[in-house]
A = this chain, B = another copy of it.
Amino acid sequence: MSAPRKDPVDAIVDQWAAVRPDLDTKAMEVFGRIFRLSRAMGDRMERAYAPHGLSRGEFDVLATLRRSGEPYTLSPRQLSGTLMLTTGGMTGRLDKLERAGLIRRSPDPHDRRGLQVTLTEKGLTTVDEAVGAGLDAEATALSTLNAEQADQLADLLRELLTGTEGTGR
């Protein structure tokens, strides 16, 4: 009736069953696939953004600014928080994007320690093109499932994510 058991994770589960039949590998079937999907789709996103001159990490910065709305301005601190990156890592990404003319760094008028990072005109058009390419890549991959399955999957993942992220220190 259902899928005939034949993906790489099934193979791993079978191997474990042969050598350690005492193990309960049920959870591995879920997270093993999540790990592999994350890696495979990450590679595809990288390829989707490349024609626009962006790495995935750089796109993420521009996209965060873009969807914050006008005036497309956030502090490095806000960005590194949202993107779960250390401030050191953020400095590097902003350096690259600034050199490419996609963002601008200016002093925060209310706090002389701080900066404001703003999308340039070029940054705005670049991210608006790239976001479509990324969504296309995701939609193509998802088209393996029908609409009902996709909704079901999104719901189950939401439940798993809210129960997982943040919890457990």
Contacts and interface: CB of A to CB of B under 8 A. Distances in A.
Nearest to A84: B39
A78 B26 CA distance: 26
Contact of A138 (B3, B31, B67, B168): B31
Given A141-B27, A165-B40, A67 B15 contact: yes
A153 interface: yes
Contact of A156 (B19, B138, B153): B153
A145 B157 contact: no
A50 interface: no
A101 interface: no
- Interface SS majority for chain A: helix
Given A10-B158, A67-B19, A163 B141 contact: yes
Contacts of A37: 31, 34, 38, 157, 160-161, 164-165
A81 B17 CA distance: 22
Given A27-B141, A30-B154, A145-B160, 16 more contacts: A3-B159, A7-B162, A7-B165, A15-B68, A16-B67, A19-B66, A25-B135, A29-B157, A30-B138, A33-B154, A35-B38, A37-B157, A37-B160, A37-B164, A38-B38, A140-B168
A152 B150 contact: no
